[in-house]
Chains A and B, each alone.
Chain A
Amino acid sequence: DVKVTQSSRYLVKRTGEKVFLECVQDMDHENMFWYRQDPGLGLRLIYFSYDVKMKEKGDIPEGYSVSREKKERFSLILESASTNQTSMYLCASGAGYGYTFGSGTRLTVV
Chain B
Amino acid sequence: AQSVTQLDSHVSVSEGTPVLLRCNYSSSYSPSLFWYVQHPNKGLQLLLKYTSAATLVKGINGFEAEFKKSETSFHLTKPSAHMSDAAEYFCVVSHSLGAGNMLTFGGGTRLMVKP
> Does B25 reach chain A (CB closer than 8 Å)?
no
User: Which chain A residues border B101 with CB–CB below 8 Å?
Assistant: 31, 50, 94-96
Closest-CB distance, A23 to chain B (whole angstroms): 11
Choose one: A31, A35, A100; the contact of B100 (CB below 8 Å): A31
Report yes or no: A97 in contact with B49, Cβ–Cβ below 8 A: yes
Say yes or no: is B67 at the interface (Cβ < 8 Å to chain A).
no
Chain A residue numbers with a CB within 8 Å of B106 are 42
Q: What class of interface size applies to chain A in its complex with B?
A: 20 to 34
In the complex, residue of chain A having the shortest beta-carbon distance to the beta carbon of B36: A101
Chain B residues with Cβ below 8 Å from A54 are: 99-100
Interface residue SS majority, chain B: strand
Interface residues on B, range: 20 to 34
CB distance from B45 to the nearest CB of A (A): 8
Contacts A49-B100, A96-B101 aside, 17 further interface pairs with beta carbons under 8 A come to: A31-B100, A42-B90, A42-B106, A42-B107, A48-B102, A51-B99, A54-B99, A97-B32, A97-B51, A98-B34, A99-B34, A99-B92, A99-B94, A99-B103, A101-B44, A102-B43, A103-B43
Q: List 11 A-B contacts (CB under 8 A).
A: A30-B100, A42-B108, A48-B100, A48-B102, A51-B99, A54-B100, A90-B43, A96-B96, A97-B49, A97-B51, A99-B103
Binding site for B on A (CB under 8 A): 30-31, 33, 35, 42-43, 45, 48-51, 54, 56, 90, 92, 94-104
